Amino acid sequence: METKWLEDFVSLAETRSFSRSAQLRHVTQPAFSRRIQALEAWAGTDLVDRSSYPTRLTPAGKTMYEQALEMLQSLQSTRSMLRAHVSAGKGMVGFAVPHTLAFTFFPTWVSAVHEKFGSFRSRLFALNVHDAVMRLVEGGCDLLIAYYHPSQPFQLDPARYEMVSLGLEVLAPYSKPDADGQPIYKLPGRQGQPLPYLGYAAGAYLGRVTELILKEAAEAVHLERVYETDMAEGLKAMVLEGHGVAFLPYSAVRGELESGRLVSAVPEGMTGFKMDMEVRAYREKPTGDAPQGGAAALWNFLKEQGASATGDSKAA
């Protein structure tokens, strides 16, 4: 039996919905159903009454639910204690970070934290968004850092995980400038003469946010997709060569904007075509008896910084 089967079953017992639990567990519904069936095969009896809606547990399922909670709580406590010992012993804080943030936001952010919090050793796992989330869920890192936008949320159980905001990031379109410093490609483009568009590959988080920006644009946008990749750094390289316009996070282009190598693709006086995203850090809530290590001290610092920023904004 795999522990993820127990976690799946607890989720199903609490949501009473296969589709909702599959979403929370970051798997497809068919895959989720197969895992529940695998647990039932291990138990040797039906745990779920599939003849009713919302889903109900059988008497055996209710017993399994109570036992699963105890087993998972015990395993979680043990893992938290072991991870704290390892972290304290090595003095290493593990971060799971989506690729774009790993290349753009993370280095500058770490430097700023070192100045205020002090130096610490860190290990970075640069992954796609899904794998970064799963790294946290499966206990493979101390902190997850990821973008957040209400239109594209990912589900982490607030009873198990806590969050702190690290700041805002702006996603906007950029172009290579001409000799006069004006964008070679200006939005919104013209019908019959679409702008060459450098986009994110299907499924990329920033691609979904970009689609929302274009959908909410006040006027028709004329673009022709000529290139795509799932990494913002790859798109930036193409924009710098003058191949088209791309939507990029500000942290990825800050230096190029200051040097004049890139400019906004939105003409002066035109509004829109950008979206604010929050950068958040997440961690699994520690148990009361878990030793406090470097990751815990860093988290407490980030919470204090977040509370201070909130207070300043309210005062303003």
The pLDDT assigned to 263 comes to 97
Domain ranges for the chain, please list them.
3-76, 94-288
Bridge partners (DSSP) of residue 147 are: 279
CATH of domain 3-76: 1.10.10.10
Can you list the residues of the chain whose pLDDT is less than 50? 88-89, 310-316
Measured between alpha carbons, how far is 90 from 213 in angstroms, rounded to an integer? 44
Nearest to 148, CA basis, from 130, 136, 161, 165: 165
Which CATH entry fits the domain spanning 94-288: 3.40.50.1370, 3.40.190.290, 3.40.50.300, 3.90.1170.50? 3.40.190.290
Measured between alpha carbons, how far is 316 from 311 in angstroms, rounded to an integer? 9
For the stretch 22-56, pLDDT in tens is 888 878 888 899 999 999 999 999 999 887 778 88
The pLDDT assigned to 84 comes to 54
Q: Is the dihedral of CA 209, 210, 214, 218 positive or negative?
A: positive
The pLDDT assigned to 315 comes to 31
The pLDDT assigned to 89 comes to 46
The pLDDT assigned to 300 comes to 92
